[in-house]
Amino acid sequence: MPTKRSVSNIKSKLLNPALTSHFEVEIAIPGFKDTQFRNYLKDNGVNYDQEKLNLMCSEASLPGSSFATHEITNDFSGVTERHAYRRVYDDRIDLTFYVDAENYLPIRFFETWMKWIANESIKEKEGGPKGTKQPEYFYRMRYPKEYRTEGLKITKFERGYTNSILRYEFVGAYPISITSMPVSYDASSLLKCSVSLTYTRFILLPAVNDTEGKDGREPTPANQPAALQSGDPSVPSEADKRILELMSGPNAPTTAELIAAGFEVASAPQTQAINAGLSGADLGRQLTRRRQGLE
């Protein structure tokens, strides 16, 4: 039999979809030779700003994985079984960045990172490696631990910064290609840099870690008063300030207007207080105290 569901039940379950435009990417430099790599960036004219680089990422992909399976056909008559024996991760992740006109940061940063991987010399030194323009120029790749980073992260969150988030961490990531970027005299458009990074595997962090507050306490929903979040009922929240501001106006709002504004004021004592012409400040304080569970 089909399950009977009310319209309100369906709306509560389906009308809160996740949106693709709320995400954050964190890119960290290789940590094994952190100081040397930073100096290498500086010598190549890269004014490294990690926060700026993170904000410039305009497109990313949440990673996927699959199982490699072994097909078994002879154990049971007419039955084909497949047993998993290895988890296979995507071989790369593609990131797209806006390019700033000040320093072309994404292009310079990833090009320099790839030069670091190939151990290319910056300029010819006496007794050192030949410059890139010399006919006898050569390069020798670095060891993987010198150019991989453990700091590549993608965080998927929702509008309003609620506690429902996804956080992926990538192990052993480094760039393997930079897509060519065409330029032309046609109508101008934003210059974008697309980079592919490979990695060993990714980790989807447990939700229990994502929902913990910075102070170790479970955070409350975004619309709950800050007094309850801090544990101190005397601390006014932004929602409480909105109540006071709303109720202190020249025209007292109706119950429907308060509900539309996001406040629960449908209880009988609150409605009676509105109808009795209680002062805006007094009513605001009463609503605040009721929201905090003090009355």
Per-residue pLDDT reduced to its tens digit, 93-124: 999 999 999 899 999 999 999 999 998 876 65
pLDDT for residue 190 is more than 90:
yes
Is 153 a domain residue? Answer: yes
User: Computed from CA positions of residues 258, 261, 267, 270, in that sequence, does the dihedral angle turn out positive or negative?
Assistant: negative
Is 5 a domain residue? Answer: no
pLDDT for residue 4 is more than 60:
yes
pLDDT for residue 72 is more than 60:
yes
Is 62 a domain residue? Answer: yes
- Phi, psi (rounded to 5 degrees) for 8: -65, -35
Residue 251 confidence (pLDDT):
57
Q: How many domains does the chain have?
A: 2
206 and 72 within one domain: yes
Read off the pLDDT of each residue in 80-101 and give the average, rounded to a whole number.
93
Asked if 200 and 172 touch (Cβ cutoff 8 Å), the reply is yes
- Residue 219, number of CB atoms within 10 A of its CB: 14
Helix (H) or strand (E) holding 57: strand 57-59
231 and 203 within one domain: no
End position of a domain, from candidates 181, 210, 239: 210
The CATH number linked to 52 is 2.30.110
pLDDT for residue 266 is more than 70:
no
231 and 185 within one domain: no
Residues 6+ apart with CB under 8 A from 218: 211, 212
Is 179 a domain residue? Answer: yes
Percent of the chain topping pLDDT 70 = 66
Exposed, middle or buried: residue 126 (CB in 10 Å: 0-12, 13-18, 19+)? exposed
The number of CA neighbours under 13 Å toward the Cβ of 293 is 8
261 and 140 within one domain: no
63 and 206 within one domain: yes
Is 219 a domain residue? Answer: no
Instruction: Tell me the whole-structure pTM to 2 decimals.
Output: 0.64
pLDDT band at 200 (very low <50, low <70, confident <90, very high): very high
Read off the pLDDT of each residue in 162-175 and give the average, rounded to a whole number.
89
Structural domain containing residue 240: 226-291
Q: What is the chain's mean pLDDT, rounded?
A: 76
CA-to-CA distance for 117 and 130, rounded, in angstroms? 17
CA-to-CA distance for 184 and 77, rounded, in angstroms? 64
Residue 45 confidence (pLDDT):
87
Residue 250 confidence (pLDDT):
56
Is 7 a domain residue? Answer: no
Residue 219 confidence (pLDDT):
40
Residue 244 confidence (pLDDT):
56
Token pair for 292: 């905090």
Q: Which residues of 22-57 are buried (b: 16+ CB within 10 A; e: fewer)?
A: ebebbbebbeebeeebeebbeebebebeeeebeebb
